[in-house]
Amino acid sequence: MREQKQSTTTDAVYELLCRAIIEQALQPGMRLPEDTVGEQFGVSRTIVRHALVRLETMGLVVSRRNRGAFVAEPSIEEAQQIFQVRRCLETEVIRIGIETMSEEDFEQLDAHVRREQAIRGKDGPVSIRLSGEFHILLAQLSGNEVLARYVTEVVLRCSLIMAMYAKSHSSDCAVDEHSQIIEALRTANADLAVSLMEHHLGAVAERAAFKKAPDTVESILSRYGKELAH
Amino acid sequence: MREQKQSTTTDAVYELLCRAIIEQALQPGMRLPEDTVGEQFGVSRTIVRHALVRLETMGLVVSRRNRGAFVAEPSIEEAQQIFQVRRCLETEVIRIGIETMSEEDFEQLDAHVRREQAIRGKDGPVSIRLSGEFHILLAQLSGNEVLARYVTEVVLRCSLIMAMYAKSHSSDCAVDEHSQIIEALRTANADLAVSLMEHHLGAVAERAAFKKAPDTVESILSRYGKELAH
DNA sequence: GGCAAGTTTTTTGTATCCAATCGATACCTT
DNA sequence: AAGGTATCGATTGGATACAAAAAACTTGCC
């Protein structure tokens, strides 16, 4: 908000790729050749490359030397690690937010939840994205920008994980929980807010954990070594 | 350890710049022209640029469009935010580490502390770097790679902050505290370990907070608006 | 002497080009 | 026919070249 940070072409490509991955247009494991992406967006490989570097440091893509970039396929272990960090960070967001957030902030959150409710029932990528954006918004409103950046990263990676593993893309239950969290924050009920958030993330994680059984050869092999999968 | 991740030239330049910043060879606010850096390391601007992008996403450098990259000058507020996140992450490291760490891991930590003690008394950049590396090692041994990455980032940024603000570069008191933390982990005393870590980070943060008075014009201006300083 | 506008110079942003590396296919050997 | 090896193609890693923007300098005017 306070930094105008005039955006460059790289940022735009980065944003687009990011959304495309989160919304599953680009599916996990898919190759991202630099020149292919480049000519799609009408920019040179240089730009694409920078965007891919950023996406790689975020963990949304992995790149192998002289092989190129691929949309990340987080393993179960990696997913668990990400969820663990996310829980840690988001409870901190709650603790900070309860001290610092204003009514104006709460209204922003309310507005977001209404947007989520508007597409209630329509499962799919957009639902996942909106659900994630609630958490990102919450983190931003905490006022700690560093924290917000990390939350953004883990939420995006979680979105990818959800898209990969969740058997249903439904996020219905989550929306109500979002409202409850806002209310707990409003009433400055720290313990409740934290436990709500933990429960919420636990629920999200569980829906990811007990998903599609590893019924294909590929999915089994992918556990034992990504490098062989391609 | 388990990923060989053959390193590229970009990685090397990144590492070097990173160390140079942490050890204060490159001081906060200093410009980093791409071709200057490039010819120093004997590589082209392309490489330097990639390294700078990575350093920027880490928060060690800031870059302004068409102006170039500068070593970051974290403000007091930013520093506080970073310390807050760091405390949050490192207490999580302790909680995980106490469950998962083996005697072998503890020995690695011991070895590192011995290395720190070896240069005890010699204040300065190297001391700050080693002190930070203890925390990074600890995070890596926790087994959660995602957590370790974030801890690495905040520790590096803290090192920059210390270098900027701490009046003395001394890290003497820290070394003993490191040993105490290892012992608490060894004896699986979770509460003690967490409180030791919190105390340790509190002490570190305080030494940063009560530092060099803003005695130069630049340092004063930098508080009131970075964009005016240049 | 100071200020302002125009010009020069430096530096970044982007595109293109060359070389090195990896994977795949085809061929040769056993 | 199966396995190993060599060549070929595709794609990235890295360097150079060109364009645009900003900073610095100069010059003229008040």
Q: Are residues B199 and B124 in the same domain?
A: yes
Mean pLDDT confidence for B197-211: 70
A8/B57 CB distance under 8 A: no
pLDDT for the residue numbered A26 = 87
A54–B81 C-beta distance less than 8 A: no
Digit-coded pLDDT (tens) for B18-31 = 988 988 888 898 99
Contact flag, residue B7 CB and nucleic strand D, below 7 A: no
Q: From CA A23, how far away is CA B156, in angstroms rounded?
A: 33
**Distance between CA atoms of residues B32 and B27, nearest Å:** 10
Among A212, A24, A97, A225, CA closest to B4: A225
Please tell me the distance in Å from B146's CA to the nearest CA on chain A. Answer: 6
Domain CATH number, residue B102? 1.20.120.530
> Is pLDDT at B229 greater than 60 in this prediction?
no
Question: Which residue(s) pair with B62 in the sheet?
Answer: B70
Residue B230 has pLDDT above 80, yes or no: no
Residue contact A146–B81, C-beta within 8 A = yes
Q: What is the pLDDT of residues B104-128, one digit of tens each?
A: 999 999 999 999 988 876 666 778 8
Expressed as residue numbers, the domain containing A168 is 76-209
Q: Check whether residue A97 and residue A57 sit in a common domain.
A: no
Q: What would the mean pLDDT of A189-210 be, rounded to a whole number?
A: 79
Residue B145 has its nearest CB partner, among A49, A81, A144, at: A81
Question: Among A1-10, A12-21, B118-127, B170-179, which is the least confidently predicted range?
Answer: A1-10
d(CA A99, CA A116) in angstroms, rounded, equals 26
For residue A165, tell me if it sits in a domain: yes
Identify whether residues A59 and A81 lie together within a single domain. no
**Structure tokens of A226?**
């990504």
Residues linked to residue A225 through DSSP beta bridges, in sequence order: none
**Is the separation of the CB atoms in B40 and B54 below 8 Å?**
no
The predicted pLDDT at position B138 comes to 97
A49-63, A154-168, B58-72, B140-154, range with the lowest pLDDT: A154-168
CA–C1' gap, A37 and C19, in angstroms: 23
What is the tally of structural domains in chain B? Answer: 2
When mean pLDDT is compared across A3-7, B182-186, B193-197, the lowest value belongs to: A3-7
B56 lies in the same domain as B80: no
Question: What is chain A's mean pLDDT, rounded?
Answer: 82
pLDDT value, residue B76: 86
Q: Residue A164: inside a domain, yes or no?
A: yes
Amino acid at the residue B220? I
Is residue B2 very low, low, confident or very high in pLDDT (cuts 50, 70, 90)?
very low
Return the SS3 of B158.
helix
- Does the distance separating the beta carbons of B8 and A85 come in below 8 Å? no
Q: Is the pLDDT of residue A13 over 60?
A: yes
Question: Looking at beta carbons, which residues of chain B come within 8 Å of A84?
Answer: 92, 96, 144, 146-147
Instruction: Give the Cα separation of A9 and A13 in Å (integer).
Output: 6
Give distance CA B162 / C1' C10 (Å). 34
More confident residue, B163 or A83: A83
Residue A169: the pLDDT is: 54
Residues B38-57: pLDDT tens digits? 888 888 998 899 899 889 98
- In this complex, do A144 and B59 lie within 8 Å of one another by their Cβ atoms? no
Q: Is the pLDDT of residue B198 over 50?
A: yes
Lowest mean pLDDT among A99-108, A187-196, A200-209: A200-209
Output phi, psi for A219, to 5 deg: -65, -30
- Residues B31, B63, single domain; the answer is yes
Q: Are residues B189 and B101 in the same domain?
A: yes
Q: Which nucleotides of D are covered by protein (CB under 7 A)?
A: 10-17, 21-23
The whole-number average pLDDT for the span B86-96 is 96
How many alpha carbons lie under 13 Å from residue B176 in its C-beta half-sphere? 6
Question: How many angstroms separate the CA of B35 from the C1' of D19?
Answer: 17
Contact A201, A86 (CB under 8 A): yes
Query: Secondary structure of chain B: what % helix, strand, coil (to 5)?
Result: 70, 5, 25
Strand D lies under 7 A from the Cβ of residue A63? yes
Tell me how far apart the alpha carbons of residues A70 and A51 are, in angstroms, rounded to a whole number: 13
Residues B178, B138 share a domain: yes
By C1' distance from the Cα of A31, the closest nucleotide is D11
Average pLDDT for A40-62: 89
Q: How far apart are the first and last CA of chain B?
A: 43
Contact at CB, A54 and B57, closer than 8 angstroms: yes
Quote the pLDDT of residue B226: 37
Residues A89 and A46 grouped into a single domain? no
pLDDT at B206: 67
Nucleotides of C under 7 A from a protein CB: 10-17, 20-23
Cβ A44 to strand C below 7 Å:
yes
Does the CB of A48 fall within 7 Å of any strand D atom?
no
B208: pLDDT confidence band, cut at 50, 70 and 90?
Answer: low
The verdict on residue B225 lying in a domain is no
Report residue B161 CA to chain centroid gap.
8
Q: Read off the pLDDT band of B97 (50, 70, 90).
A: very high
Q: Is the CB of A212 under 7 A from strand C?
A: no
Span of A91-95, B51-55, B222-226 with lowest mean pLDDT:
B222-226
Rg of chain B over Cα atoms, rounded to whole angstroms, equals: 18
Quote ipTM for the complex: 0.85
Residue B113 lies in a domain: yes
A65 CA to C22 C1' in angstroms comes to: 9
Q: Which of residues 35-54 of B touch strand D (CB under 7 A)?
A: 43-47
Residue A221, pLDDT above cutoff 50: no
Q: For residue A121, is pLDDT > 70? A: no
